Amino acid sequence: MPPRGTATTSLTPKFMMAVIAAIAVCGLYFGRPVLMPLALAVLMSFAIAPLGFEMIWHQRADAKPSATDAR
């Protein structure tokens, strides 16, 4: 029979890891109505960002010189 102290010390970290994993899974499950639209918004912003940068680049390239640049 193993000593009593070693069985409890090896069980405690495993149990705590299982509890933390269960809390994380429950948090993700119940947070789904908020997290799904947030994740979709982040992905869409990455997809749309190159178009926005290109539009800004073309606007700057087509800009007319201002009156202070006319010297």
CA distance 28 to 25: 5
Q: Do the beta carbons of residue 37 and residue 44 sit within 8 Å? A: no
- What's the one-letter identity of residue 70? A
CA distance 41 to 5: 51
Helices within the chain (DSSP H only): 4-30, 32-61
What's residue 64's pLDDT?
A: 63
Q: Where are the domains of the chain?
A: 33-61
pLDDT tens for the chain, residues 1 to 71: 556 655 556 679 899 999 999 999 999 999 999 999 999 999 999 988 888 777 777 766 666 666 665 55
Q: What is the pTM of this model?
A: 0.51
What's residue 51's pLDDT?
A: 81
What's residue 22's pLDDT?
A: 97
Question: What SS3 state is found at 65?
Answer: coil
